[in-house]
Amino acid sequence: MSNSAAVQIEQIHRMLESGQRSVRLEKHTLILWGLIAASLIVLINSIITPERMPTHWHRVLLSNTIIAVVVTIAAYWDFQQTRLKREARDESISYIQLQLTKVWWFLIGLIVLINIGVNIFGGAYLFYPILISLTGLGFYIHGLFSQQLLAWNGILVILSGLTAIILQVPFETLEWFTVVLFGIGLPAMAWLIDLPVVQQNLKHRLFASLAWLCLITAPTWFIHQVKNRVAIPDWPVISLQDYQEKTDTKLTGYVVQLPVATNIPLTVTFSGDAINTNKPTSVPLQLTKPLAIAINKGVADGRYRIGEGQWLKPRRKFYAKKTRLDAHISQAHGVQIELDLLLKITE
C-alpha cells in the first residue's frame, strides 16, 4: 500500500471518529438519570406506603405523578445541558443524536406507563426485569452509533433482567439490583466510556464490561445476604398443643413444631366487579412437610423452617405461580368458578 493511500485511509478514520463525537452519551446524562432512578425507587417505596396512605389508588396517583414530574424536568434539563456542552466544544447535536434522544424518551415514557399498569392491574414482580431490560436495550441501541462499550454493557444488562426471571430472584433482591444498577452502575459507566484505553483496546473493553458487571452484582449479592440472614432461634421446641396449654408464652420464646398432616384453615375473602363473598370463606390446608415456627412473647416473629431446612422469612420467600381462574356455566351445575393456585415456598 502506498503512503498516499495509507494517509487517505487514516484521514477517513479520523473523519468517522469526528463524526461520531456528536453521537454519544454525556457523562452528566448517565450520572443524572442513574441517581434520579435510584432515588425514586428508594424514596417512593419508603415514603408512599400503605401505612401512610391506605387507599390504593391514592398511592398510585401520587407515586406516578411524582415520577412523571421528576422525569419530565430531568429530561428537559439533560437536553439543555447536552446542548450547552456541545456548544462549548464547538460541536452540534447531529440528526442521529436527536433520534436516539427520542428513543430514550420513548423508553422512559414506556417504563412510566408500564409502572402505572402494574400498579393498577398487578404483576409487580415483572416490573423491575422489564425496567432493567428496556434500559439495556437503550444502551445497546445508543452504543451501535457511538461508544461500543455502551452496546456491550447494554447486552449484559438485558441478560441480567432475563436471568432474574429465569432464576426467580426474590422481588426485594431485584429491587436492590435495580437501585445499584442505576445508582452505582450508571455513574461508573460515565467514567468508563471516556477512558482512552477502553476505547482503543478490545481486551481492555471486554475486561471493563465484566468488571462493571461485577460492580453492580457484588453489592446486590451482599445486600441480599444481609437482608435475608435469619438468626437461628436457640429456644425450646414444643408441640402446638403444649404451646396452647402454656400460660407463660408471653415471657419466653419457643419454637412450635407442627407435624405432617396438621390442618391449617385459610380464611379467604373475594371481591370484584360482579362478585363478592357475604363473609370470609375458610379453606382447609394440610401440611405436607413438618413446619417449625418461632414464637417470641406469644407472637410469631416471622421466622420459620420447613423440615430440616434453613430458617426463612416468609415475606421474602413466598410467591404464587401457575394461577388459573376459570368461570363457566352448565345445565348440570349452573355457574361455577374454579381457581388453581400453586403457592411456592423456596427453601
Asked if residue 267 is part of any domain, the answer here is yes
Give pLDDT tens digits for 287-303: 888 888 888 877 777 78
Pairing outcome for strands 254-258 and 237-239: parallel
- Whole-number Å distance between alpha carbons of 156 and 139: 10
Give pLDDT tens digits for 71-89: 999 999 998 998 888 888 7
Global pTM value: 0.74
**285 SS3 class:** strand
Asked if residue 232 is part of any domain, the answer here is no
Cβ within 8 Å of residue 83, ≥6 positions away = 93
Q: Are residues 339 and 283 in the same domain?
A: yes
Q: Are residues 276 and 215 in the same domain?
A: no
Q: Are residues 217 and 313 in the same domain?
A: no
For the chain, give the percent of residues with pLDDT over 90.
22
Q: Are residues 123 and 212 in the same domain?
A: yes
Amino acid at 144: L
Look at the chain and report how many structural domains it folds into: 2
Asked if residue 188 is part of any domain, the answer here is yes
Domain boundary among 227, 246, 267: 227
274 neighbors 266 (Cβ within 8 angstroms): no
Q: Are residues 321 and 220 in the same domain?
A: no
- What is the pLDDT at residue 7? 64
Q: Are residues 12 and 52 in the same domain?
A: yes
Q: Are residues 62 and 189 in the same domain?
A: yes
pLDDT of 316 higher than 50: no
346 neighbors 224 (Cβ within 8 angstroms): no
- What residues make up the domain containing 116? 3-227
Give pLDDT tens digits for 114-152: 988 888 887 788 899 999 999 999 999 988 887 788 888
- What is the pLDDT at residue 202? 75
Q: Are residues 97 and 57 in the same domain?
A: yes
Reading the block at residue 169, the C-alpha cell is 430472584
Cβ within 8 Å of residue 207, ≥6 positions away = none
Q: Are residues 119 and 19 in the same domain?
A: yes
Q: Are residues 78 and 148 in the same domain?
A: yes
Q: Are residues 131 and 192 in the same domain?
A: yes
| N-to-C CA span, the chain | 67
285 neighbors 252 (Cβ within 8 angstroms): no
Contacts of 197-205 with C-beta under 8 Å, sequence gap 24+, read 198/149, 199/147, 199/148, 199/149, 205/148, 205/149, 205/152
Q: Are residues 67 and 184 in the same domain?
A: yes
Q: How many residues does the chain have?
A: 347
Give pLDDT tens digits for 11-22: 665 555 555 455
Residue pointed to by grid coordinates 428508594: 42
